[in-house]
């Protein structure tokens, strides 16, 4: 009956025979040739699959065009939102300015014509004929008011 040599001694002998550094020889398991050959075959197959892979140029152009259209639509939505916000700020500022100066926007309901008048005068006109004239609230101001 033979006693197998200790593992550490076996690793040191392998390191000396194959010129491996001792640190690698003591930490690495013994090489398995069958697994190494399988890995080489799998790697070669994976490499050939990788080299054969390509993207259809028309599909790439279509996807890029779709992305550009989506970005354009998003930009237009953001521009409209900013324009709406700007218009709301303009109407609010104009309304505040008119309030400070005691001015009202008076509209003739039949024709839609508008004008800016002193608050007391505009109130008197609306009280005299409320079916024909109305005071325009700041939320309905136009840039020309």
pLDDT in tens, 88-102: 999 999 999 999 999
Q: Say how far apart CA 116 and CA 121 lie, in whole Å.
A: 10
Residue 29 belongs to a domain: no
With 0-12 / 13-18 / 19 or more C-beta atoms within 10 angstroms meaning exposed / middle / buried, residue 122 is buried
Q: Is 141 helix (H, G, I), strand (E, B) or coil?
A: coil
Quote the domain boundaries for residue 79. Answer: 64-140
pLDDT at site 66: 94
Residue 110 lies in a domain: yes
User: Per the domain annotation, does 85 fall within a domain?
Assistant: yes
- Which DSSP category does 103 fall into? E
Distance (Å, rounded) from C-alpha 115 to C-alpha 127? 17
Position 62 scores a pLDDT of 92
- Token pair of 144, please? 């020309």
CA 135 to chain centre: 44
| H-helix or E-strand spanning residue 138 | none
Does residue 12 sit within a domain?
no
Q: Which residues contact 145 (CB under 8 A, 6 or more apart)?
A: 94, 105, 114, 116, 136
Predicted confidence at residue 37, as pLDDT, reads: 59
Looking at the domain assignment, is residue 112 inside a domain?
A: yes
- Does residue 126 fall inside a structural domain? yes
pLDDT of 22:
46
In a domain, 114, yes or no: yes
In tens, the pLDDT along 32-47 reads 555 555 677 788 888 8
Domain count for the chain, please give it. 1
Residue 69's pLDDT is 95
**Residue ranges, the chain, pLDDT below 70:** 1-38
């Amino acid at each position: 009956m033979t006693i197998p040599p200790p593992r550490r001694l076996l690793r040191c002998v392998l390191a000396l025979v194959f010129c491996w550094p001792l640190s690698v020889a003591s930490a690495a398991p013994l090489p398995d040739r069958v697994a190494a050959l399988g890995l080489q075959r799998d790697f070669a197959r994976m490499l050939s699959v990788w080299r054969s892979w390509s993207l259809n140029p028309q599909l790439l152009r279509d996807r890029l065009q779709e992305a550009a259209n989506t970005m354009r639509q998003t930009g237009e939505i953001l521009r409209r939102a900013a324009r709406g916000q700007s218009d709301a700020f303009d109407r609010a500022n104009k309304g505040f300015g008119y309030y400070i100066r005691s001015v009202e926007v008076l509209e003739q309901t039949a024709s839609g014509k508008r004008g800016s008048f002193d608050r007391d005068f505009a109130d008197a006109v609306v009280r005299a004929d409320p079916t024909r004239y109305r005071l325009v609230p700041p939320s309905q101001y136009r840039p020309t008011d």
